[in-house]
């Protein structure tokens, strides 16, 4: 057990600058997919609540499909499914993009979290008190200004508790990257477990680290809620 820790502690946490592994990769996957997913989800949520059917229906279909299938299947589809298509392999840009496991993982995670976040944000936008919007209209706001100054700041705050849940679930989901050969925390644990035949210790260390990240995330969101949801307390 001591040997395992001595041998693997660096890989669990950060690896080497040339080959980062473990915790660093897990956090990077989490931040990258959540960041990109958020940027994608906000406009999609606005489109989903739009009265234009041509905007709302495609978004609804997208979230329905993504939320109705396991992330593991989505990851396999992006990682090995898309690359099996001739059209992808013969295009230089797509070929180099989909050949890299890291790109595929980030793409699959982003599309997945964007769908869940879209639903959360769309729900929050729909629950915006009628009076807020009427007041904004009375002040002469419309379209982009209305969304930028009134609806989105209000809706994103109220979406915070549900979104924090999604962030924790996304942390749990990053472990799937290990199945696509990305050297994240779980992948290091798997290597350590098979090297030393100590599954309990190897996976236990990973579990403890994930638990710590979960607690830090929950604490951060509690701070954020105290700051941005102060008016609801």
Partner 1 sequence: MLFEGYGRLLWNGTLETIQLSLLSLVLAFVLGLLGAAAKLSRNQWISFPATIYTTLIRGVPDLVLMLLLYYSFQDALNRFTDALNLQQIDIDPFFAGICVLGFIYGAYFTETFRGGVLAVPKGQLEAGAAYGLSRWQIFRRILFPQMMRFALPGISNNWQVILKATALVSIIGLHEVVRAAQDAITGTSSKGAYHAFFFLSVAGLIYLLLTSVSHIVFMALEQRYSIGIRKPEL
Binding site for partner 1 (CB under 8 A): 65, 67-74, 76-77, 80-86, 171-176, 178-179, 186, 189-190, 193, 197-200, 203-204, 206-207, 210-211, 214-215
Distance separating alpha carbons of residues 157 and 153, to the nearest angstrom: 6
In the complex with partner 1, which residue's Cβ is closer, 46 or 185? 185
Answer yes or no: are the C-beta atoms of 208 and 200 closer than 8 Å.
Answer: no
Answer yes or no: are the C-beta atoms of 21 and 177 closer than 8 Å.
Answer: no
Q: Smallest distance from the beta carbon of 58 to partner 1, in angstroms?
A: 16
What ranges in the chain are assigned the alpha helix state H?
Answer: 2-13, 23-48, 53-68, 71-76, 86-90, 92-99, 101-126, 130-138, 143-145, 152-158, 160-173, 185-196, 199-228
Q: Smallest distance from the beta carbon of 1 to partner 1, in angstroms?
A: 13
Nearest-5° angle of CA 141, CA 143, CA 149?
60
In the complex with partner 1, which residue's Cβ is closer, 15 or 204? 204
In the complex with partner 1, which residue's Cβ is closer, 10 or 84? 84
In the complex with partner 1, which residue's Cβ is closer, 42 or 108? 108
Distance separating alpha carbons of residues 190 and 182, to the nearest angstrom: 12
In the complex with partner 1, which residue's Cβ is closer, 67 or 148? 67
Q: Smallest distance from the beta carbon of 176 to partner 1, in angstroms?
A: 7
Q: Smallest distance from the beta carbon of 220 to partner 1, in angstroms?
A: 14
Q: Smallest distance from the beta carbon of 18 to partner 1, in angstroms?
A: 26
Cα 40 from chain centroid? 11
């Amino acid at each position: 057990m001591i040997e395992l820790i001595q041998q693997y502690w660096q890989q669990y946490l950060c690896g080497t600058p040339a080959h980062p592994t473990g915790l660093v990769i897990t956090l990077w996957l989490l931040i990258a997919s959540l960041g990109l997913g958020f940027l994608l989800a906000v406009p999609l949520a606005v489109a989903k609540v739009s009265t234009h059917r041509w905007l709302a229906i495609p978004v609804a279909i997208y979230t329905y499909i993504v939320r109705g299938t396991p992330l593991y299947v989505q990851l396999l589809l992006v990682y090995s499914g898309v690359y099996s298509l001739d059209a992808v392999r013969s295009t230089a840009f797509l070929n180099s993009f989909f050949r890299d496991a890291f790109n595929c993982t980030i793409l699959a995670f982003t599309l997945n979290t964007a769908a869940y976040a879209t639903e959360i944000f769309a729900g929050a936008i729909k629950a915006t008190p009628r009076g807020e919007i009427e007041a904004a209209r009375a002040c002469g706001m419309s379209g982009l200004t209305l969304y930028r100054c009134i609806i989105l700041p209000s809706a994103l705050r109220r979406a915070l508790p549900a979104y924090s849940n999604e962030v924790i679930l996304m942390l749990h989901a990053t472990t799937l990257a290990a199945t696509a050969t990305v050297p994240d925390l779980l992948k290091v644990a798997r290597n350590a477990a098979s090297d030393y035949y100590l599954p309990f210790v190897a996976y236990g260390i990973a579990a403890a680290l994930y638990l710590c990240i979960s607690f830090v995330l929950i604490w951060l969101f509690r701070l954020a809620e105290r700051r941005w949801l102060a008016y609801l307390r």
